[in-house]
Chains A and B, each alone.
Chain A
Amino acid sequence: MDTTGTISSGRAVRVRGLRKRYGTPRAGFKHAVAGLDLDIDRGEIVAVLGPNGAGKTTTVEILEGFRERDAGEVAVLGQDPAHAGRDWRARLGVVTQESRDLGELTVAETIRATARYYPAPRDPDDVIAAVGLGEKARTRVRSLSGGQRRRLDVALGIVGGPELLFLDEPTTGFDPQARRSFWDLVESLRDGGTTILLTTHYLDEAAQLADRVLVVHDGALVAEGPPGTLGGAEARTPVVRWTQDGEPRSERTERPTELVARLARETAGPDGEVPGLQVTRPSLEDVYLDLIGAAPETTKVAS
Chain B
Amino acid sequence: MTASPETRTVIPAAPQPGPARLPGIGTLALVRAGVELRSFVRERDAVIFLFLYPLVMLALFATVFGKEAEGIGDVTVNFAQYFLPGMIATGVMLTSFQSMAISIAVERDDGTLKRLRATPLPASAYFLGKVAQVLVTSALQTALLLALAALVFDVALPTDVGRWFTFAWVYVLGTAAGTVLGVAFSSVPRSGRSATAVVTPVVLVLQFISGVFFPFYTLPSWLQTIASVFPLRWLAQGMRSVFLPEDLATLEQTGTWQHGLTAAVLAAWLLVGLVVGTRTFRWRRRDDG
Contacts and interface: CB of A to CB of B under 8 A. Distances in A.
| Size category of the binding interface on chain B | 35 or more
Interface in A156-186: 156, 158, 160-162, 174-175, 177-178, 181-182, 184-185
Interface residues of A, number: 60
A113 B15 contact: no
A47 to B, nearest CB: 19
B289 A67 contact: yes
Nearest to B118: A94
Given A184-B9, A192-B13, A96 B38 contact: no
B112 A87 contact: no
A89 B15 contact: no
B12 A192 contact: yes
A53 interface: no
A66 B289 contact: yes
B11 A130 contact: yes
Contacts of A259: none
A101 B20 contact: no
B10 A120 contact: no
A126 B23 contact: no
Interface stretch (B27-35, B78-86, B137-145, B216-224): B27-35
A104 B13 CA distance: 30
Interface of A: 61, 64, 66-67, 86-87, 89-92, 94, 96, 98-105, 109, 113-114, 116-123, 126-127, 129-130, 132, 134-135, 140, 147, 151, 156, 158, 160-162, 174-175, 177-178, 181-182, 184-185, 188-189, 191-194
Given A66-B117, A96-B111, A161-B14, 17 more contacts: A61-B289, A96-B114, A96-B118, A99-B115, A103-B43, A113-B31, A119-B20, A120-B17, A126-B12, A130-B11, A132-B4, A147-B1, A151-B1, A177-B3, A181-B9, A185-B11, A191-B13
8 contacts: A87-B120, A101-B111, A117-B120, A120-B18, A123-B12, A181-B7, A185-B10, A192-B11
